[in-house]
Amino acid sequence: MKRLITAPCLLLSALASTAQTDSRPNIIMFLVDDMGWQDTSVPFYNNERTNLNHRYHTPNMERMARLGVRFTEAYACAISSPTRCSLMSGMNAARHRVTNWTLELDQQTDAKSDVISLPQWNYNGIQPANTAGQINNSTPITSIAQVLKDNGYRTIHCGKAHFGARTTPGADPATMGFDVNIAGGPNGAPGSYLGTKNFGEGTPFAVHGLEKYHGQDIFITEALTREALAAMQQSVDMKKPFYLYMSHYAVHSPYDEDKRFCPNYRGRFDKQLNDTLNEKEVRYAALVEGMDKSLGDILDYLEQNPEVGRNTIVLFMSDNGGQGLSNQRQGRANRDQNWPARAGKGSAFMGGVREPMMVYWPGVTQGNTQNDQRVMIEDFFPTILEMAGVSRYQTCQTVDGVSFVDVLKQPDVRRERPIIWHFPNLWGETQNMDEGYGAYSSILKGDYHLIYTWETRQCRLYNVRQDIGEQNDLAVRMPEKVKELAAELTTYLKERDAQRPSYRSSGELIPYPGE
């Protein structure tokens, strides 16, 4: 069987018994799907509410912001599966090579090109460590859930998984270290959000595991929340610390009608669009508000059970930028949807990768504060383990992430490190290279964001401190900065043996950005 990552896997050391002290914190990782950084009433840009912030009603995100800290420079991959694989493994996408979204066994999900051929990326996703050498085009990992489980945590997966191809072990969160799997599988979206449609039963995107709600007038966001709360209570009754990966299908398409919240947005005039919200935006805003209710229900549980709440950490994050295309959303494509950032999901521009992030750690984080330390998705792996007090562990993968616990404990701490994205793929919805789509790699360091487009070998340079919308390409005016960042990006990719596209005409690999 073909293996793309050949480093031998080490067995995880079980270094703690299942008996835990009461001081072990519960940890909730609340991940939203396809939520743009401005799809909330909480400001994540310059501490001022934008027109998009005024569109949305997210009182429970506001509540969490009052309790904890907002991170104003949080980043993920531009596509779902790469982000989720980085979260589970602590690896940058350049290393784990699950660089596009996964679904069916042995099937790439890329668009076609007459110019470039794509590398054999790991389209079968991440897999349990004990499958090393058995599944082609996959990456065996020791997952964060497995480490926590082996150190006494009850691990709960609730919602979207989307990190392993269908029929592989990694498609089932129960094989990836989770004691409980609620409605997680290979699909990256629900066939339907509606219980009256059995959550898409009979479609390739059917959500399984919520059959008790079939036929009911219930939205999947609500059903998942009820199940998560029950699993949390079971853990408390068992007197075991828990890790809840609350991974919502919301706010990904399809934009089904949530009758609870859609009336709040119909007929509303929107300043960003200078128009009345259309039905797509109405339903999208309702998806956001439904997600926010879920967060509120969880915060309510912690408040109503103070002995649990005092010892529970909550982390909030999105997996990629919001949809930026007018075939999905209202307004000018790649301009209005994630404003003031440019573009959206799938793009190298800030609208595709910049995320809303918050952390509430009772007794540690200071309420109603913000922090501009840059955080990348793979950083959550070492951070959560440090939060859990797990320091002696081994993984079969090399972890790229850096814990930000020190930043939470000492808000003035800052570290300068580059943020790297690697997408040698072709997203299916658009190939508009002008807007940052197509095959690319990029680096964010200091004030500057360098984007390298593989097909054209073009380097674009933006000062994101002064130009968050990335409208002014500085590459011609600052050739030395381009050279510097391209060299650093190249070194990073080479160190991780990152895959590259090749020219279809000659079969030759396209040079790295610094070559």
Average pLDDT of the chain to the nearest whole number: 95
Q: Are strands 502-503 and 116-117 parallel, antiparallel or unpaired?
A: antiparallel
pLDDT-derived band of residue 4, with 50, 70 and 90 as boundaries?
very low
pLDDT for 487 equals 98
Residue with tokens 């001022």: 48
| Tally of CA atoms within 13 A in the half-sphere of 325 that contains its CB | 16
pLDDT-derived band of residue 9, with 50, 70 and 90 as boundaries?
very low
Encode pLDDT of 91-123 as tens digits.
Answer: 999 999 999 999 999 999 999 999 999 999 999
Residue with tokens 């993968």: 397
Q: At what angle do helices 380-387 and 80-89 cross, to 10 degrees?
A: 40
Are 189 and 278 contacting, i.e. CB atoms less than 8 angstroms apart?
Answer: no
Let me know if 202 is exposed, middle or buried by CB neighbors in 10 A (0-12, 13-18, 19+): exposed
pLDDT higher than threshold 80 for residue 21:
no
- CATH 3.30.1120.10 location in the chain: 420-503
pLDDT for 381 equals 98
pLDDT for 354 equals 98
Mean pLDDT, residues 409-419 taken together: 94
Encode pLDDT of 202-219 as tens digits.
Answer: 999 999 999 999 999 999
> What distance in Å separates the CA atoms of residue 337 and residue 226, rounded to the nearest whole number?
31
> What distance in Å separates the CA atoms of residue 348 and residue 423, rounded to the nearest whole number?
9
pLDDT higher than threshold 80 for residue 55:
yes
Structure-token pair, residue 142: 């020791």
pLDDT for 23 equals 84
Are 407 and 70 contacting, i.e. CB atoms less than 8 angstroms apart?
Answer: no
pLDDT for 327 equals 87
pLDDT for 495 equals 98
pLDDT-derived band of residue 26, with 50, 70 and 90 as boundaries?
very high
Give backbone dihedrals phi and psi of 482, rounded to 5 degrees, phi first: -60, -45
pLDDT-derived band of residue 13, with 50, 70 and 90 as boundaries?
very low
Are 184 and 84 contacting, i.e. CB atoms less than 8 angstroms apart?
Answer: no
- CATH 3.30.1120.10, applies to 420-503: yes
Which range has the worst mean pLDDT, 413-417, 430-434, 448-452?
413-417
pLDDT-derived band of residue 238, with 50, 70 and 90 as boundaries?
very high
pTM of the model: 0.95
- CATH fold for the domain made of 26-110+120-414: Alkaline Phosphatase, subunit A (3.40.720)
Mean pLDDT, residues 120-137 taken together: 97
Mean pLDDT, residues 337-341 taken together: 98
85 Cβ neighbours under 8 A, 6+ residues apart:
91, 93, 96, 98, 125, 126, 139, 141, 163
> What distance in Å separates the CA atoms of residue 121 and residue 468, rounded to the nearest whole number?
31
Encode pLDDT of 252-281 as tens digits.
Answer: 999 999 999 999 999 999 999 999 999 999
pLDDT for 272 equals 98
pLDDT for 2 equals 31
Are 434 and 94 contacting, i.e. CB atoms less than 8 angstroms apart?
Answer: no
Let me know if 154 is exposed, middle or buried by CB neighbors in 10 A (0-12, 13-18, 19+): buried
pLDDT for 19 equals 34
pLDDT higher than threshold 80 for residue 16:
no
- CATH 3.40.720.10 location in the chain: 26-110+120-414
pLDDT for 12 equals 36
